[in-house]
Structure 1
Amino acid sequence: MNLKGKNIVIFGLGVSGMGALRFLGDKEAVLSLVNRGNPNSWNEYNEIKDSFGAVHLFAQDHEGIKEVFNKADLVILSPGIPREHELLSGISAPIWSEIELAFQFSKAPIIAVTGTNGKTTTVSFLDHLFKSLGKRVFTGGNIGVAFCDHIRSGEKVDYILLELSSFQLESTFDFKPEVGVLLNIFPNHGERYSNNDDYAKAKFNITKKMDEKGSLIFDSGNKQIEKWGNSFCGRKTPIDTSNAKGIIEHLSSMFSLSNYKLPGLHNKINLDFCLEVLNSLDLLEGNIEALQKGIDSFSGVAHRIEYVPSNEKFEIYNDAKSTNWDATLTAIESMKELNRDLVLILGGKLRGQNDLPPERAKEVFVKNVKKVLLIGEAGNYLEENLSDWLPCFNKENIEAAVSELREENFGGVLLLSPAFPSFDQFSNYAKRGEAFKSLFSV
């Protein structure tokens, strides 16, 4: 693909926008960068001016900005900006994600993983297992380094492993992974999608250009996913996530789980998906010993039911990555193995949709949670709506919640699993998790 002289608009900064900018800066395209606020106020302004002096910079409310989009040959859209944005209305140029742009220049086989929950753990685990087999792998997408940065580097790898969000998948067109993985779908991103069907359709884009040579691994325990997965034209591997006994028996028939460090059934499901990916690539048979070492040595990922060492009397787990009810309910249920009183820190930015827990949550909370300490914008709302059946108390912030437990000499388990986005008090979930962990010393 020759981009020389093409008018390309990058709409939105962040990891993907800057990755696209660095990549396109080498392609002799005519670049315009559009973002919120005066360009002088952008965090990336100095880097852009120092390294890409010829780039045209615009605030998205700049007079005449619509004409910039109308003249574009291609728009690279940040995943945080919806395709329905008024500046994109009526333009003739294709609108790509940074993932699509990088794909156009990629050569190695791609494994693409999506789903509501478990993406980061599964992708990180796969990365670890690939390396246990001596494979060279680039891991990125919705985590870590932008896909475009990898392509620009020219690094040769055996596999490209991508975690993909629904936002990224919305703007893919020719994107064609060798292996597609859909872990699950739960109601999420009510701020972006008017219903769960629209959210699911974005996830289903993962197979849009896959053919009979491709492999799809999917959750057949979800009827919506099962119907879609069974219509796939290539190799299909359904995993019935509702059959806990079957999954554990399947894993145990190949590997010992005695040294497996990740708590909860959901992490055994994640492992099963990982192994089926390796099987689809003919990397399972003959590699049992190396993979056993990889399984035994994987300790999980930051901010996803992460054990936090400390000198406190209570045990601490950081699940700051949880931004929806299903992730939090999964985290709560994984704590059963500890058999101690559980206090949950819950809350964050209200979504405007699915802010109250699903019907099954009441049983999970009543059986497993001693009390809930509420934080953030959702605090008052949750206290008003849940306190008739759940002992919950609005503490407003993480620091106040932890202080209460110290004062009462609590000796059980503290779990931060917010179930809501972090943007009311933190720039992202990782900042929320780091702030939580910083409260404890070893």
Structure 2
Amino acid sequence: MVEVNAGPGFRMHLSPTHGECRDVGRPVIDMLFPDSESIGRIPIAAVTGTNGKTTTVRLLSHLLRQAGRNVGMACTGAIEIDNHVILRGDYSGPHAAEIVLREPTVECAVLEVARGGIMRRGLGFDECDVGVLLNIASDHLGEHDIHTLDELARCKTVVIDAVRQGGTAVLNADDPRVLEGQQWARGEIIFFTLDPNSRPVRQHVHEQGVALPSITSAS
């Protein structure tokens, strides 16, 4: 027979009849409320830009699933948990992020972050581990009170600003407005390019930075 005491008393430890008292309250509180900020968090990759967000999100999700992770994905097509569609529609805003992050089985999240959601409600997370900024283009200018490419760039770089200290910002080195986003990055910066002679990439690598080279077909 085993007795399970769901509400144990501390009096016998704090004020024992015999022997020395013990501060048992402190380890209990430490167990319930750990100091580590990582407790309860999962890795988050956030992808933004004008074009290519959904494709990139789906690719990242696929790669993480191949690595054996239970992935929560949100994009303009659906919300998927472990490759199972739970909701269909445009889920590229903060509400979608909240749905994914509330799912207890999810081990990592890959989230599409659209301009409209940022303007209406901001991000659905306080910080992310990886922020990807693909490009800044004139599509949909005039919506949500954004009328210039510079205004759009400022909106999109919110994702880069949300990358945690020690995280990674992935930036398109072929887009000058995307490159300007590196000033907001607090962690590692990785460039990607389609130009084998990209000057920003060459300079970045010369300074010990990381870059993904262009992939060209064999002649």
TM-score, normalized by length of structure 1?
0.30
In structure 1, distance between residues paired with 2:197 and 2:114: 26
Render the CA deviation track for 1:345-377: whole Å, top value 9, x for unaligned: xxxxxxxxxxxxxxxxxxxxxxxxxxxxxxxxx
Q: Answer yes or no: is 1:147 the counterpart of 2:97.
A: yes
Which structure would you say has the larger RCO, counting Cα contacts within 8 Å and 6 or more residues apart?
Answer: 2
Which sections of structure 2, spanning at least 5 residues, go unmatched? 1-39, 80-95, 199-212
| Aligned-partner SS, 2:180 | helix
The aligned residue for residue 247 of structure 1 is 214
Task: Give the letter aligned to residue 147 of structure 1.
Answer: A
1:139 aligned counterpart, secondary structure: strand
After TM superposition, give the deviation of residue 139 of structure 1 in Å. 0.3
Query: In the TM superposition, what is the alpha-carbon distance from 1:147 to its structure 2 partner?
Result: 3.0
Aligned length: 145
Question: Which residue number corresponds to residue 70 of structure 2?
Answer: 136
SS at match of 1:138: strand
Task: Return closer, same or farther for 1:244/1:139 CA change in 2, 3 Å cut-off.
Answer: farther
| 1:107-118 equivalence runs, <5 A | 107-118=41-52
Q: Hey, which of these two has a bigger chunk of strand by percent?
A: 2
Given residue 203 of structure 1, which amino acid in structure 2 is its aligned partner? K
For 1:204, which of 157, 168, 189 is the aligned residue?
157
SS at match of 1:213: strand
User: What is the correspondence of 1:14-413 to structure 2 with a 5 Å cutoff?
Assistant: 107-145=41-79, 146-152=96-102, 154-170=103-119, 171-172=121-122, 175-192=126-143, 193-243=146-196, 246-248=213-215
1:202 offset after TM fit, Å? 0.9
1:242 and 1:139, CA in 2 relative to 1: closer, same or farther beyond 3 A?
A: same
Give distance in 2, aligned partners of 1:108 and 1:231: 22
Residue 115 of structure 2 aligns to which amino acid in structure 1? S
Q: Determine the C-alpha separation between the residues in 1 that align with 2:111 and 2:164.
A: 19
Instruction: Report deviation, 1:234.
Output: 1.1
| 8 Å CA contact 1:217, 1:236 repeated in 2 | yes
Compared CA separation, residues 230 and 240, structure 1 to 2 (3 A): farther
Partner AA of 1:168 in structure 2: G
CA distance in 2, matches of 1:228, 1:129: 26
The answer to whether the 8 A contact 1:142-1:164 is kept is no
Structure 1 gap ranges (5+) = 1-105, 250-256, 259-442
8 A Cα contact 1:188 1:196, kept in partner: no
Deviation at 1:111, TM superposition (A): 0.3
- Specify the SS of the correspondent of 1:113: strand
- 237-246 vs 206-215, which deviates more? 237-246
Give yes or no for contact 1:169–1:206 (8 Å, CA) kept in 2: no
Q: Within 2, Cα distance between the matches of 1:126 and 1:120?
A: 10
Letter in structure 2 aligned against 1:185:
I
**Structure 1 contact 230–236 (Cα < 8 Å) conserved:** no
Per the TM alignment, residue 155 of structure 1 is displaced from its structure 2 partner at its CA by 3.1
Distance 1:247 1:178 in 2: 24
Give me the whole-angstrom Cα distance separating, in 2, the residues matched to 1:132 and 1:110.
Answer: 17
Using the TM superposition, give the Cα deviation of residue 244 of structure 1 relative to its aligned residue in structure 2, in angstroms: 8.7
Kept in 2, the 8 Å contact 1:212–1:233? The answer is yes
Verify the 8 A CA contact 1:219 1:241 in the aligned structure 2.
Answer: no
Name the Cα RMSD after superposition: 2.6
State the AA in 2 paired with 1:210: V
Cα deviations by residue, 1:317-355 (Å, 9 ceiling, x for unpaired): xxxxxxxxxxxxxxxxxxxxxxxxxxxxxxxxxxxxxxx
Verify the 8 A CA contact 1:115 1:165 in the aligned structure 2.
Answer: yes
| Aligned residue type for 1:175 | D
Partners of 2:173 and 2:179 lie apart in 1 by 4
Contact 2:163–2:169 under 8 Å retained in 1: no
Q: Sort the Cα spacing of 1:209 and 1:149 in 2 relative to 1 into closer, same or farther, 3 A.
A: closer
CA distance in 2, matches of 1:243, 1:169: 33
